[in-house]
Amino acid sequence: MQAKIISKNVNVYYGTNHVIKNVSLDIMPNEVVAFIGPSGCGKSTFLRLLNRMNDFIESFKMEGEILIDNEDIYDSKIKVEELRKKVGMVFQKPNPFPKSIYENIVYGLRIQGINDKKYLDSVVEKTLQQVGIWNEVKDKLHQSAMALSGGQQQRICIARTLAVEPSVVLMDEPTSALDPISTATIEELIYQLKKQYTIVIVTHNMQQAGRVSDRTAFFYMGELIEYNDTRELFTNPKVELTQKYITGRFG
Amino acid sequence: MNNHQITINRWKDKIFYWYGLICTVSGVLILAVFLYSIIIEGWDRLNWQFFTSLPSRRPSSAGILVPLLGTLWIMILTTIIAVPIGIAAAIYLEEYGKKNKFAEFIEVNIANLAGVPSIIYGLLALEIFVRIMGLGRSLLSGALTLSLLILPIVIVSTREALKSVPKTIREASYALGATKWKTIWNAVLPSAAGGILTGVILAISRAIGETAPLVVIGAMLYITTIPTHPLDDFSVLPIQIYNWLSRPQKGFIENATAAIIVLLAITFILNGIAIYLRNKWQSKVKW
């Protein structure tokens, strides 16, 4: 099977700071891959390479190649807006727009100039069903999304991402600001979404990586230390550093 | 620390408490006394006739129709001119402008402009709008003058509002495939709208109280025609007040105080709207 995402010898510099060191890794379609590692290890930076969110950092410089669906996403011919439609992102802290639930969901469509109400209505219902929140919010679609709980807000943010029909969903510590119950619902959701999407999730929580992912990549000081089947990595790590990290001897 | 020292510090604490309280109350008290005396003197004069009459040589038949309409005209024209320019400039400076020497230079100058005495703006406007552009002593000249005056305020407050929109909102928009412009227009501006609106309203309420620059460009002290066109001659409430206060008759003083009540009412209402919007937005948008 052809890998969905291929990265080859990727190096990233912020000014003179070498933050990603020669990382190569492949992600298969409909796979959930978790990135773990201590703070500042480069896992978020690497995740943000995949939808080019690092482009906003002035001193950012990258070497190497990242292919998604066999296209070099850092090629100058690539339209970054198109890339970001294909590679959606969910952030650490729920960040709904200060608009209604409905307007949050259709944001990505409206900016593409899609205003057909019937179509938008159907997308809103479909994506809210997908994230399992339709019954909770269907009577208050036109109320502010800011009034919802953190867990609900995060699911709105996921629905908003799905509305533009991405094939890859990046999640940057999506549950770190949520309570345990909301966290469980999001994890359950990730398991559901995997059928249709390729998911890359950064997490601080090793149990979470164990629960939701097929494969796990362990980063340390900008290097990819180990990348393996999640069960294998957690039960039988090949590298001593990985073992030290997953047993909590540093982090 | 010994007991003696603690006692002294407690005393200092008390003294400062009372000092602060007196300072706070005295400000409010002075305003209250001022309002009270104004209202006592002018309240009886506020009747239908006062609002609907043209100026007159007899105080009892004079009214504020012309300056009131002038003030409303000026308010609307100034908003139309200053708000789009101010917001656009702020968006450029905050979102597009590179952080270089030129940007610094512009920034320092905008801050300086906010501190320039308003009469200087009047002199500039007299030369540019009234003479060079040939707009005469018209409503349009007046509105352009006041627009110059409040532009720095609109720009600074809009920039503050844009700055307060968290990065996460921009990221959310970009991550959905939005361009920079779409992000600013659809995500950042709506999120900053409360702050921008508050700043704009406070700027407008400052503008309608201005007298000096309008006197300089030649707003009329005595005018008997209702302004119906942006190029018409005009007067505004502060100038009418100034005019009446300089008359010797007692009746005109009473008229002036009544006009002050109207002007204050307009400013208070505008400020009230600004406060209401700010609170409403703050309760809606919690970052």
Best interface-test mutation with B: which of A90, A111, A157, A169 has the largest number of B CBs within 10 A?
Answer: A111
DSSP characters over B34-93: HHHHHHHHHGGG-SHHHHHPPP-SSGGG--SHHHHHHHHHHHHHHHHHHHHHHHHHHHII
Q: Do B176 and A110 touch (CB under 8 A)?
A: no
- Residue B285 has a pLDDT of 62
State whether residue B179 sits within 8 Å of chain A by CB. yes
CA distance A198 to A172: 14
Whether A172 contacts A161, CB under 8 Å:
no
Which H/E stretch holds residue A168?
A: strand A168-172
What is d(CA B6, CA B29) in angstroms, rounded to the nearest whole number? Answer: 34
Q: Which of residues 102-121 of A touch B (CB under 8 A)?
A: 107-108, 110-112
Greater confidence, A9 or B234? A9
Measured in whole angstroms, how far is the alpha carbon of residue A75 from the centre of its chain? 22
Residues B7-13 have a mean pLDDT of 91
Output B106 or A134, whichever has higher pLDDT: A134
- Round the average pLDDT of chain A to a whole number and report it: 94
Question: Residues A200, A171: contact at Cβ < 8 Å?
Answer: yes
Sign of CA pseudo-dihedral A225, A231, A235, A236: negative
| Residues facing residue A47 across a β-bridge | none
Residue the block writes with tokens 């149990």: A207
Within 10 Å of residue A118's Cβ, how many Cβ atoms?
Answer: 7
Lowest pLDDT segment from A60-69, A120-129, B101-110 = B101-110
Q: What is the dihedral of CA A234, A235, A237, A240, to 10 degrees?
A: 90
Nearest to A164 among B171, B172, B176 (CB): B176
Mean pLDDT: which of A93-97, B96-100, B275-279 is highest?
A93-97
CB contact under 8 A, A88 and B176: yes
pLDDT at position B286 is: 55
The residue type of A47 is L
Please give the share of chain B, as a percent, with pLDDT higher than 90.
Answer: 47
Q: What is the pLDDT of residue B263?
A: 93
Residue A29, SS3? coil
Q: What is the pLDDT of residues B34-66, one digit of tens each?
A: 999 999 988 888 888 888 888 888 888 888 998
Does residue A1 surpass a pLDDT of 80? no
Question: Is the separation of the CB atoms in B229 and B135 below 8 Å?
Answer: no
Smallest Cα–Cα separation from A156: which of A168, A178, A115? A178
Q: Which of B171, B176, B183 to mutate to test the interface with A (most CBs of A within 10 A)?
A: B176
Which of B168, B177, B187 is opposite residue A91, by nearest beta carbon? B168
φ, ψ for residue A26 (rounded to 5)? -115, 145
pLDDT score recorded for residue B284: 62
Q: What is the β-pairing status of strands A32-36 and A198-202?
A: parallel
ipTM of the complex: 0.93
Cβ-Cβ contacts under 8 Å between A and B: the total is 68
Closest Cβ–Cβ partner in B169, B190, B284 for A95: B169
Task: Give this prediction's pTM.
Answer: 0.84
Least confident of A192-196, B149-153, B271-275: B271-275
Q: Give the whole-number percent of chain A exceeding pLDDT 90.
A: 90
Q: Are A10 and A63 in contact (CB under 8 A)?
A: yes
What class is the B48-284 domain?
mainly alpha
Q: How far apart are CA B44 and CA B25, in angstroms?
A: 29
What digits encode the pLDDT tens for the residues B66-81? Answer: 899 999 999 999 999 9
pLDDT, tens digit (0-9, with 9 covering 90-100), for A186-234: 999 999 999 999 999 999 889 999 999 999 999 999 999 999 999 999 9
Residues of chain B above pLDDT 70, percent: 97
What would the 3-class secondary structure string for B121-141 be? HHHHHHHHHHHHCCCCCEHHH
> Alpha-carbon distance A210 to A232, whole Å?
10
Stretch (H or E) spanning A202 = strand A198-202
The predicted pLDDT at position B1 comes to 62
Choose among B175, B190, B285: nearest Cβ to A84.
Answer: B175
CA distance A250 to A243: 10
pLDDT of residue B173: 96
Query: What pLDDT sits at residue B274?
Result: 86
Please state, in angstroms and rounded to a whole number, the distance separating the CA atoms of residues A203 and A66. Answer: 22
pLDDT of residue A242: 93
Task: Residue A156: list chain B partners with CB under 8 A.
Answer: none
List pLDDT tens digits, range A65-112: 999 999 999 999 999 999 999 999 999 999 999 999 999 999 999 999
Q: How confident is the model at residue B283 (pLDDT cuts 50, 70, 90)?
A: low
CB contact, 8 Å: B191 with chain A?
A: yes
Give the domain ranges of chain B.
3-45, 48-284
Question: DSSP secondary structure string, A69-104?
Answer: TTEETTSTTS-HHHHHHHEEEE-SS----SSBHHHH
